[in-house]
Amino acid sequence: MGQALGCIQVDQSTVAITETFGKFDEVLEPACHCLPWNFGKQSAGLLSLRVQQLDVKCETKTKDNVFVNVVASIQYRALAEKAQDAFYKLSNTRAQIQSYVFDVIRASVPKLELDVVFEQKNDIAKAVEEELEKAMSHYGFEIVQILIVDIEPDERVKRAMNEINAAARMRVAANEKAEAEKILQIKRAEGDGELNQF
């Protein structure tokens, strides 16, 4: 419902922020509420308490000078008990979270070599989560979970890695083949030796 009759409906998992003559007044829980607009009371807006997800793609350089795109998935939500802070303190929550994620990833990944980045993606996610939790709690938000969902090296690096892996597999296959032929020759020689004894 609108405010034409001075009533608003606040849905589940949402809170409404009210102001009286432009000053914060109270946080309204889910229900139907009457706001005496003729006394200057009005709804400033709604704040969702649902878990929201933000995917952040950050390009950075590893210790061994490889450019990688790190994709982090951040799940966060506004806290009902800090709804005033969540509504008034930040104008763009997503941009603020993105800035912190960029900062932590660009501080962590350059210390690691490419192979180690893949192995320590959980440690990177934990570092991002700790930093974000510390920063965003002041603004009325809780960080639910952070996942590093993708680490993608530059296309040329990917091709080179695939070629290295293919060469290593071919080397192993050649060694196995040589070992098999060696065993075959030994068995032939043993067989010929047994024939000569008869």
pLDDT in tens, 18-64: 999 989 999 999 999 988 888 888 899 999 999 999 999 999 998 98
Question: Do the Cβ atoms of 62 and 56 come closer than 8 Å?
Answer: no
Residue given tokens 């996610």 in the structure block: 125
The predicted model scores a pTM of: 0.73
So what CATH class is 52-153? Answer: alpha beta
Question: Do the Cβ atoms of 16 and 28 come closer than 8 Å?
Answer: yes
Q: Which of 8-17, 33-42, 124-133, 180-189 has the lowest mean pLDDT?
A: 180-189
Question: What does the domain layout of the chain look like in residue ranges?
Answer: 7-48, 52-153, 156-198
